[in-house]
Structure 1
Amino acid sequence: MIALLLLMLWNVPNIWSYNVGIKEGASTFVNLSINIEKTSFAGYSLNVQNFDGNLSIVAGAPMYNTSKANGAIIQCAKISGSEDDGYLNGNTSCWVKVDGNNLLLRDNQKQKADGFGTSLVQLNSTQEYVSCGPGRQKICGPTGERSQFIPGSCYKGELSNMKMKQDWGEIDCFSNYIDVVFLVDSSNSVTEADHVVIKEILKNITDSFSHSFGDTTQIAIVQYGTNVKDLKIDQPVGLGECDESQCYVEALDNRMDHLRGVDTLTAAAIQYVVQNVFATSRNRFLARQFLVVITDGQATDAADLTASFAMTQDANITVYAIGVGGRIDPYELNIIANGNRDNSLRVLTTEKYSELNQELATVTAQLATFSTEGFSAVNVTITLENAMQGLSVQLSEQTFQRKAVNNSDG
């Protein structure tokens, strides 16, 4: 019978591994670094059983290094023999039973199970164990703007088939889809020179969405004018048509001609975009949708602007209005953008088209934040993303409780 079980450090200055000390009358020590790399922290957690006088040890080695993860569980069986200089000589056999490379890799994980084996318990009267790796990391977001989380992980099962415990509070990485339509006034009040300026400025729009354009961000350019008295629409770039900047720029170069419309049917153009552009987007059920209206004059159909705003709200479309020059009507811009509920909400103005670039940069910078990881169209709590689950484990009536740190919920 085992009277006392002790943990001791071997070679303390370098902390190579932990050792099991078993006392029953005389002392016997088992060096867990036998056949295991010395820096593995073997024995940091362990389970010991006595089978007819022979000990069986299952121990965590959270610093055991593999190509993809740190951590392992080692097993030592048939431990018996005589003591020689404090270490057991005889029938000692230790081997790595499971390491991070044997565990299934979840999406977006930087490493499989950093610190696997930090905690370890055996489920009573079974061959199943629970072992945790509180340092498991997860990477979310696009290249260059990635966020790193340390949710940790716990695994349950027989040593040959351990599976990660899920649905405990960690959420999957999520992508934010956005549709952006730029609706551009192309009436006679816009000079040919100004039209060229607008086109050149619009070519740079995709720079703000470099991490998501063609993936989760779709951009369309729509011009409006009139053909005699009827609305005339031109769409140089459709939503989802281009998935790279070169395609987008070439489309503007080849297709964006000045319409020279007599009237400025802004309300009618907004209604057209809602019904025929946003409503047909392939991401319409996933994406937040934004409309940016650029105009340099008063709307010929100003009486219909309130109705067009209501249509955008019914479709859950957020509208920005940019007015250029001295002929704009601030009241109309407010109706377009916010139903005249706020004198400045999503309304920008500039004196001339050569200064439009600055205002568009402000708008696109705001829109780009909605397509970046960490923002969501729904309310998602991510307080457990850095919980470091599994720093310790406690077995209680066949259920196990996991302790975590860095959790703002406590």
Structure 2
Amino acid sequence: MADLSVQFCGVRIKNPVLAASAEPTLNAGNMNKCIEAGAGGVIAKTMTDSPAMRELTTRSKWRFLDQRHEVCHGKVPRAFSLYGRSGLALETPEEFLPEIRKTLKFAADNDAVVVGSIGSTEISGWVELAKQMEDVGVPLLECNFGCPHPKMMPGVRTGMNVGQDFNYACEITQAVAEAVRIPVMIKVTPQVNDLVGFSGRLLDVGAKAVTLTNRFIGFVPDIESGKPLIWGQAGIGGPWVKPLTLRWIREVYLAYKERVAIAGTNGAYDWRDIVMFVMSGADIVEMCSAVMVYGYEWLGKQVKGLEEWMDAKGYKSLAQMKGIAAEAALPYANMPSEKARVIEDACIGCKRCLDACFYNAMQDGGEKTHVLEENCIGCGGCLSVCPQAGAIEINVV
């Protein structure tokens, strides 16, 4: 049986599936449900000393959007978007810390890990919140430099407003890392111009891990009413964003793999995605959007699916597959030459491949199509649109 455990910044986590800091970890009751479902751990909703960010959560709104970015009604497609407006933890730190204590006790009884999350508006506030989290007993601390909502609230300097100011973010990180003994991880926004360089700077000033990445800011009009969904701009993420997240995970992993731990988030829908995150370089995977759609039990199902897949493929541990896809990626100049081949016995003569070929390589042969090899560059468009499995191959030449 595969070993799903991982050492993350010196902390053992029984499996790589964690509930991300969001509504499913809003309080002790919610966090305990995540743990009971089988998650390796939870990242608590971000504790804050900002009244504005606490008040915003009392007016949280979100919608699950389909492939047309219209509100889902009943059936939520796999590649949905989570479009939402929310804030940070509802309670003051004095009120929220007892929630952490309750969760820590439940987690200890269930071999799970509780990660604290904080967000402040001043460096002194970040340090004080970090100390409070350490004192209550969490083994890891995540600083939230990625929350998109403060960007849409004038005068509130936390979340993304910190993550887009590299110098200020590094000041906070250094101050927090020097103030506590537990490992500090930084959750970053994807809306920056050099996330790899920023991650390196965070490591230089004391961070032990980065969480890649928080959500984007989006805007979706309702064409029937002429008004925006949920009243305006909102944070947007979900399974559709996975390739963008995996790109950053791969680049940060390759740049700093000897000294960085990576928590991947934003885009993981199921166990297949967890595999992709690990193969791209992530150590653990934080899940949120799918849990909000399907409930807490979704977490346990993905742990089981991951274990079964690893057993079937012969992987004994997560370490065996960590970063293997990241390492295998080739630069454009090193890609091998390929050509398409039509398997005549399987071809059904639908001619879809003719419309997808812009190099005049796919030729109409009447009932079947064939390939003019001297024109084919192996782009793969024909393979993608062919409805008949096995009718077209793309082979290295």
Structure 1 or 2: larger strand share? 1
TM-score category of the 2 structures, normalised to the smaller one: under 0.3
Structure 1 or 2: larger helix share? 2
TM-score (norm 1): 0.27
TM-score (norm 2): 0.27
Higher relative contact order (CA 8 A, sep 6+): 2
